[in-house]
Amino acid sequence: MAFIFNDENLKSEIQSGKPVVVDFWATWCGPCRVVGPIVEDLAQAYDGRVLIGKYDVDEGGDMAVEYGVRNIPTLLFFKDGQLVDRHVGTTTRDALAAKIDTLL
């Protein structure tokens, strides 16, 4: 299961040094519902190697603003505490897995 990020834990998880992928989403977003199952699957596939989770922009919002998320779904990729990549919109599992592999 994907990790649940929020305004309280997102920065500390990013700064932990491990690779992190954050899916900024909302329940009402159609494209988010397409990407959601892919994120869940990848969270299981990379469990223990990459922290993959979801950040509900309706539940929080501060971190979405801080990272310049203007459209959802937006996936942010962090390595060693630094933002290294970003993907906006729908995509395939293979495309996301390739981006995640660069974090390892």
User: What residues are labeled active site?
Assistant: 29, 32
- Find all residues with CB under 8 Å of 49, minimum gap 6, and list them: 19, 104
Query: What are the structure tokens assigned to 92, written together?
Result: 């395939």
Strands 20-25 and 51-56 turn out to be parallel
CB 54 within 8 A of CB 69: no
Tell me the C-alpha distance between 73 and 81, whole Å: 21
